[in-house]
Structures are given as C-alpha cells and as structure tokens.
Amino acid sequence: MTEFATPELDVVIPDDLAKPLDRLRDAASELGISLYLVGGPVRDWLLQRPLVDIDLLIANGNPKSIATLVRKGFGKDAKVREHPQFGTMSVEIGEHRVDLATLRKEKYPRPGALPVVSPGTLEDDLSRRDFSVNALALPLRKGGGEEPISVIDLGSGLVDLGESTLRVFHPRSFHDDPTRALRAARLAARLGFGLSRGARSALRDALRDGAFGGVSGDRLRREFIKLFTDCAVGGHPSIALVHLDKWHVLAALEPGLCTHASSRAPLRRLEKVLATPQWRVREHRPWVAGLCLWLSPLSAPLRRRTLARLGVRGDTSVRVLDFAKSCQRWIKELKGTRGRGAVDLVLAELDEDQLLALYATCEPLLRRRVVRWAAEDRDTRIPVSPRDLLNANLSGPVVGVALARIRAAYLNGEVANREEGLALAREILRRSEAGKRGRRPKDAGRN
C-alpha cells in the first residue's frame, strides 16, 4: 500500500457538505466504525478539482451502528434512500449527493451484465473498480491534527494520477463491464487523461470479442446521460465522443455510428453555455440537447437505429430525430424576423433542450437573438390579460390572435401600456368583424 500524507481534509469540500462530513467523521470515531472517502472524490481532491458528489465506504459496523452513524451525520430528518440489494444508501444534500456503501466484491455473470455483489474486504472493494485512479481511499477519522491522513492506494493510482493515465486492473475489465469505455472517455475528456497501453489493449480485446453487444440500452443511455451532464462539472462531451469514435466504441454500439466533424463546434458551444449559462436556464436535460447536436449530421436511419440502441423512446426520440429539420426551419425563421416580437413567436414553441441545441447551432448574430429572448423577453408579461379582452367584447379565437399581436407589439415597443394594448385589441376586433362582413356574400353564394 502506498501511503500519501495529505493536508487538512476539508479545504476543497463544498460548504454544505463540510459539516455533515465532519459529523460523520466524529460519529464514526465514536462508534468505532472505519469510514473512507473513496473513488472519484479522492481523485478529484488530489487533483484539486471541486468535489461534486461524495462516495464513502463503511468498513465495519452492524446495521444498528450504521443507522446511528447516518443519523448523527445527516440528522434524523435527512432523506436517506436505501438500496439493500447493493448494500448502499444515498443522501441528497442541496445539489450534492453522499453515497455510502459497505465493503463488497463483485462478480460478473456474463460480459456486460450487472455485477452480483457480496460482502468483501477493503482490498476487494478497491480492486473491483474501473481505473486505478478511482481506486484510492482516504480514511476519515478524528485525527486531532497530529496524525497525518494517508491515502490508501492498492494499485498504481497515485502514480497514474501524476501521469494522467487511466489504467485498468486486469485485461478483462472491459469484458466485465464495457460501459467502462464510456466512463473512460468521459473522464479522459474531463481530466485531460489518456488510456494506458494495457487499457487500450484490454479495450481492443473486448471490442474484438463483441462485449458491447451484451450491454442493455438502458445502461448505455445512462452512461450517455452522464457524459453530457458532465458539462456542468467541466467535462467535454465533444472530446469524449471523439475518444469513443477513435477507440471504435461508437461503431461497436451501432454500425456506422461516428462523430461528425461538423457537430464538434456546436457541442463545444453547448458545453460552454451549460458551464456558464447566458440566461436563467430552465429545467432541461443536457443529454437531449447533446444527442440533438451529436446525431443531427448523421443520416435519419442511423439516427433512428442509434436512438433505438440507446433505448431512447417516445417524445424524446422524436425531438432528437426531428432536430436537424426543425433547427433549419427555426434558423430560417429567425433570420427573417424583424423585431423582438417576431423572435418571440419563433422561440416560444421550443422547449429548453431544443433552445439550448438551437443556440449551440446558430451563427453569432442569431445566438445573440436567442440569448436576448431567453434572458429578457420570454418572461415578459404583457399589460393586457385575457379577462381585459373579454371585458372589451372580444371572444372566441380572436382573443388568442389579439393576445399574440399585443405581445409582439409590446416586445417591439409599439405598445407601452394597458390602454394602448386594449386599443390594439379593439382595432383587431374591428378588422376581424369587417373581414367577416366582407366575406359574407361569397359565403352566401356557396349555399
């Protein structure tokens, strides 16, 4: 075991997690439970990257003492979700998640299947992991500052961290779990790491043996969701997809699947806008916007097959499939717009995923229009309500028409207040009635 002296623990732990972790550490010492920070958080902490989620290993203790530990750490009102079949539980704290697991080992019944887990030692638990840099553990105990805390490194995790390398523990690692290739691409893109020679060879063997065919669409989709969600923690799906393409993983998922060069700039813009939003981004799914951009240059049949392979169905699948065509239409309409009201008419029909993907596709001038609309105009309330229109004797379909026209005029600055809005509504009503009168003889002639 390599021991690695570390400075005080809580320097990079987000504020809202620091207190629960301190309490957990104290409670674990009181209860005689050995608790370890493990995996991603240790890796990120050593790389001085911000911690997002916390993974903890509980090395001993019985169900009662573990329940006491959790209660002392998170308080009795914390929402703890237990997953007894995996020996794990998780607690949401603000935007973060703490996962606690007991020590386990894993066995893969067949390549690509979910592992069967059973109790194990710390060594089992660390060596079942994907990459050596994810197999580091840091004991959490009340040190009082005298005792240095040391990282437990059973493989070559610390060296690999220094050399920016993803190393697997054994040559059949990707056979056991081919989704590790997607994790590798995501981590490599996020951290600027590369695969070790052994990992490359293990991946080639898994591809040759058709291991990817055994992975369910649900598992693949979950990995792609993570890949695109990585934008929020400094990840780069655009680069991860290039890795997967170069490693021949995409083609193993679906023949012909690749990353077209023309999707790279839009994907990079998506990464940027999600990392530093230009407007108050509403509820969205980065992976849907990401799939729209990644797949839109590919042929429609390939898009369809890929979505089916990833188990993307229903409305989401339709949106991703149609994006290429819809996006061209939105861009054409946006180019032809005069005034903010017209932009509103085009963009109001998009959901947030489509808006993000459209933004990432457009040229700078149109991007500015999208940002101005999303940041300033879309939440604008017009000074006239449907009730005002009913009181002004408008009813039926003309109410909708009038509201849309008033909204456009208000955003364009042509209508400044309720009175002017109502005047425009009366004018619309007058014209609509004149129109009906004008059509009457013709309608009558038809009878």
Give least dist CB 130 to ligand CTP, A. Answer: 3
Give least dist CB 131 to ligand CTP, A. Answer: 7
Q: Is 102 in the site for ligand CTP (CB under 6 A)?
A: no
How long a stretch of residues is the chain?
Answer: 447
Our CB check for ligand CTP shows the closer of 179 and 361 to be 179
Give least dist CB 22 to ligand CTP, A. Answer: 21
Give least dist CB 111 to ligand CTP, A. Answer: 13
Crossing angle of helices 314-335 and 364-372, in 10° steps, is: 110
Per-residue HEC secondary structure of the chain comes to CECCEECCHHHCCCHHHHHHHHHHHHHHHHHCCCEEEECHHHHHHHCCCCCCCEEEEECCCCHHHHHHHHHHHHCCCCCEEEEHHHCEEEEEECCEEEEEEECEEEECCCCCCCCEEEECCHHHHHHCCCEHHHCEEEEECCCCCCCCEECEECCCHHHHHHCCEECECCCCHHHHCCHHHHHHHHHHHHHCCEECHHHHHHHHHHHHCCHHHHCCHHHHHHHHHHHHHHHHHCCCHHHHHHHHHHCCHHHHHCCCCCCCHHHHHHHHHHHHHHHCCCCCCCCCCHHHHHHHHHHCCCCHHHHHHHHHHCCCCHHHHHHHHHHHHHHHHHHHHHHCCCCHHHHHHHHCCCCHHHHHHHHHHCCHHHHHHHHHHHHHHCCCCCCCCHHHHHHCCCCCHHHHHHHHHHHHHHHCCCCCCHHHHHHHHHHHHHHHHHHHHHHHHHHHHHC
Binding residues for ligand CTP restricted to 114-143, rule: CB under 6 A: 129-130, 134
How many amino acids of this chain bind ligand CTP (CB under 6 A)?
11
Give least dist CB 122 to ligand CTP, A. Answer: 14
Query: What is the contact mask toward ligand CTP in residues 161 to 200, using x (rule: CB under 6 A)?
Result: ----------------x-xx--x---x-------------
Our CB check for ligand CTP shows the closer of 156 and 326 to be 156
Our CB check for ligand CTP shows the closer of 129 and 405 to be 129
Our CB check for ligand CTP shows the closer of 80 and 371 to be 80
Give least dist CB 354 to ligand CTP, A. Answer: 26
Q: Is 290 in the site for ligand CTP (CB under 6 A)?
A: no
Q: Is 407 in the site for ligand CTP (CB under 6 A)?
A: no
Q: Is 243 in the site for ligand CTP (CB under 6 A)?
A: no
In the bound state, the residue with its beta carbon closest to ligand CTP is: 40
Binding residues for ligand CTP restricted to 24-53, rule: CB under 6 A: 39-40
Our CB check for ligand CTP shows the closer of 129 and 303 to be 129
Our CB check for ligand CTP shows the closer of 220 and 411 to be 220
Give least dist CB 53 to ligand CTP, A. Answer: 6
Our CB check for ligand CTP shows the closer of 97 and 309 to be 97
Query: How far apart (Å, rounded) are the C-alpha atoms in residues 60 and 33?
Result: 6
Q: Is 55 in the site for ligand CTP (CB under 6 A)?
A: yes
Our CB check for ligand CTP shows the closer of 83 and 436 to be 83
Give least dist CB 216 to ligand CTP, A. Answer: 13
Angle, CA of 284, 374 and 316, to the nearest 5°: 30
Give least dist CB 48 to ligand CTP, A. Answer: 14
Our CB check for ligand CTP shows the closer of 90 and 432 to be 90
Interface residue list for ligand CTP (CB under 6 A): 39-40, 55, 129-130, 134, 177, 179-180, 183, 187
